[in-house]
């Protein structure tokens, strides 16, 4: 039986380490996003709920509340919240993204650096909701 080439074995090991750490890394990025957007849109909507959250489930987006407020938020706030909702529920976020006139990933260029970093980290570490 032949062994894998060293480069292939190292790549497999890197990916295994990445995906083993992904759930916690996703949660940390999610918490940064919740902090930036404001805890009122997530979980129980309180600062205390945010501080005591131990997993992403405790900080689920309040999609009905976000949907109702979307038209009253700045374009950057709208886009960021809709993008975050897309990690939670792609189907429910589709209408939010359309309302933000989201055409594709290049539209995220309107976000500031902190929000872009959150979205990039969420993409990199997403492991399903």
Q: What is the full per-residue pLDDT of the chain (129 aa) written as tens digits? A: 568 788 888 899 999 999 999 999 999 999 999 999 999 999 999 999 999 999 999 999 999 999 999 999 999 999 999 999 999 999 999 999 999 989 899 889 999 999 999 999 999 999 999
* Full-model pTM: 0.89
The token duo for 17 is 């380490």
1 inside domain: no
Domain annotation covers residue 67: yes
Of residues 126, 94, 93, the one with CA closest to residue 19: 126
Domain span at 122: 63-129
pLDDT, residue 6, reads: 84
| Total Cβ atoms within 10 A of residue 102 | 20
Quick check: is 111 in a domain?
yes
Q: Is residue 55, in this structure, part of any structural domain at all? A: no
Q: How many structural domains is the chain composed of?
A: 1
């Amino acid at each position: 039986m032949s062994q894998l080439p060293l480069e292939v074995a190292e790549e497999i090991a890197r990916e295994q380490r990445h995906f083993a750490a992904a759930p916690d890394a996703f949660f940390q990025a999610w918490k940064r996003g919740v902090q930036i957007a404001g805890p009122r849109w997530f979980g129980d909507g309180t600062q205390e709920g945010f501080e005591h959250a131990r997993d992403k489930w405790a900080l689920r987006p309040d999609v009905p509340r976000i949907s109702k407020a979307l038209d009253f938020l700045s374009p950057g706030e709208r886009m960021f919240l809709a993008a975050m909702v897309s990690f939670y529920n792609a189907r429910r976020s589709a209408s939010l993204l359309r309302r933000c006139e989201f055409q594709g990933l290049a539209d995220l260029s309107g976000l500031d650096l902190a929000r872009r970093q959150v979205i990039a980290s969420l993409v990199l570490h997403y492991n399903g909701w």
